[in-house]
A and B are shown apart, each in its own frame.
Chain A
Amino acid sequence: MYQYTDFDRQFVHQRAAQYRDQLERNLTGQLADDDFRPLRLQNGWYVQRYAPMLRVAVPYGELASRQLRALAKIAREYDQPSHELLSTALAKQAELGTKALAVGYGHFTTRQNVQFNWIPLDKSADVMDLLASVDMHGIQTSGNCIRNITGDALAGIAADEHIDPRPYCEIMRQWSTLHPEFAFLPRKFKIAVSGAAEDRAATSWHDVGLHLIHNDQGEVGFKVLVGGGMGRTPIIGRTIREFVPWNQILNFLEAVVRVYNRFGRRDNLYKARIKILVKAEGQRYFDEVEAEYQAILAHDGGQHAIPQAELDRVAACFKAPNITLDDTADTAETLLATLSTKDQTEYQRWLQQNVKPHKNPALRAVTLSFKRLGLAPGDASADQLDAAADLAERFSASEVRVSHEQNLLLPWVRASDLPALWQAARALGLARPNIGLLTDIIACPGGDFCALANARSIPVAAAITERFQDLDELFDLGEIDLHISGCINSCGHHHSGHIGVLGVDKDGREWYQVSLGGADGSTLSGDAIPGKVIGPSFAASEVTDVVEALLDTYRNQRTPGENFIHCVRRLGLDPFKAAANAARHETRDAGQVLNVHTNSADALTD
């Protein structure tokens, strides 16, 4: 993992002090709410439906166990609404049918960050100090700026990786942090990086997608995609350059972002992302970036060319930890021998779904499943965060990764430790063998928390999870990406789901549009593409039936060994549409009234 220098540490403390000054001015009436909003957003503080939300940056998803413990402390001590606030929130959500709201939890997001839902704003500066004490912050996790850079959760360990992206991610993180020219872009700006054969970072769906590659001469550089994004107008990124030498990537990004800052639309929130500029201008945008890049190099002296020594310094932090491969295989055998037949089966399933191969043949990457009955996808209680830190220390060189699928991955597990890890994870309820399967649902917090949402996501995920509890059935259905967003901002990545569910507002009631055939760009899913809507939206009470109808169609018509997504591609949408339509049973006024729509100005900067 990256190790903070004194400079880095001082920097996050200075940022925390700056935020405290701004907060105090706001709380004492010297800084108006409208003027404070973009400042707090760029530190990760939103105001949601009932309370502030904090989004903590987890650069490219890497966390040390000591940082997990700090997040646990925040969940336990700060993610606590007053009794009065919680009562109000519960009463309002109860009108929709929500029976409980998680308190004292951290939430893993689709951008590998961690969110909290209940921290009072007057405690926010204290939380920033606490984060700074473990080399963390909320810098640029919101606002119209360069956001936290995301990457492959298997970076540095994947068997199919050409180049470890993490040192480059870290250098880009530092470059983008408090960049003075790019703090008020037309809209948010997201960068994702992959260095492996398989794209596990959904790079085509980002404002900038970077692929670390070798060119014909064997030199390292980046293939650069630009203009991808979800939201109201889903667009797949286009290749702007086949190869930028690794040491020039900051200079190239400077050109990409400067041209966007100057020419991106600012008159319409929904047309302000770079994807709209790239779509509208096409080659003209590419030419402008190329000219700007050449001017940066030739005229400005290419000041941000990365020196080899700097890459070496940062890369040294990402050396694989020293893991003693002592002979624990016997213990593992002994442990396995004590398992019942039923447990043996469950263990084998866990090995199959939750354990991935590793660059080092003696090691494995193990995913802890945070997709389980009764809890929102990606939610972790304070105790579970601490317990995950324990597992990381015992089994994974004190390191975890937040995956964009909202789980935690242990990257340095000895193969011989797998039985013991499985037992420990199972005792914590984190060993459900459903990674990559239907119930490994990606979902945003939705209308139970978020002020932007048109509909709730968590109850939809819960209902589907509840219906599909049978592991035999889940394994028979195979790998399926089911993604749920509570609104068109697409935090739940519904566009890229094999099955996508999108909350929509019809006459103030919550309805759900279902789409089919989306892809994130992974090997299983194929080239990134948005799913197609299969018809008019459905009532909440119909969604689970619709999902089941889609799956039944697949089960009835699949060829041997054919995955759901491949079956959808082969058959086309019609048979699925017909089945989904047959599952309609509600009258058109059946949607729940989301009567607590807020007009929070934060909705302008998700």
Chain B
Amino acid sequence: MRYDNVQLQQQLAAEYILGSLKGKAKARYEQLKAKRADVQQQYDWAANQLHRLADTVPAVKPSKAVWQNIEARLFKQASNKLNWWRGLGLGTSAMAAVLALVLVTQQSDVPTITAAPPTQIALLAGEDAKPAFMLNVVKTEKGETALRVNVLETLTPQPANTLQLWMIPNGHKPISLGLLPQQGQKTIVVLETLAAELIKSGLAVSLEPIGGSPTGQPTGAVLYQGKVVVI
């Protein structure tokens, strides 16, 4: 098939990104790109190359109003929504009362549910939203904070690489938490100085050379991400 020709693929990718591909040819290329990984790969490569054209344009500071408008559009609404919820305060307390009643009446049947301590858990998922790692925040016998790592069956094994776990605290660079197994379980002890930040931080898994990142910062693709939640 003629689309197997790498040169043609590169040509189509470049023209698609430039914008000179239009109409039926464009639609055909989009379909092809969605179906074939090799076409998508050529596209990604060409995009990273050609979009440097944008970098040849001089930078110009936009007026302050642009950011103010962005903030107003994205975040003002959110605080309005919050107020709207507060207005419903009466309704929610009534609901909470009903819920409490339900819990109380059910307690004799399922005592373990109400007795269970809060669980801190993180699911690290890839772009397909399928979790590949489940992490539980636990205390070791010595009282240290640790992450109990469970590798899920959905993990795509990376035999030629190491998977490394990072926490990304607010306002800081990623901090390595350690290397992850690709099957089974592992417990990773978290330094006490980081433990408090852990629950507020993002978590990410990057693809690294065997043995882990040589630079102390993620060097490869981020394959999975997540955050600790309390359930």
A and B pair up: no
Q: Which residues does A use to contact B, with CB under 8 Å?
A: none
Q: Which residues does B use to contact A, with CB under 8 Å?
A: none
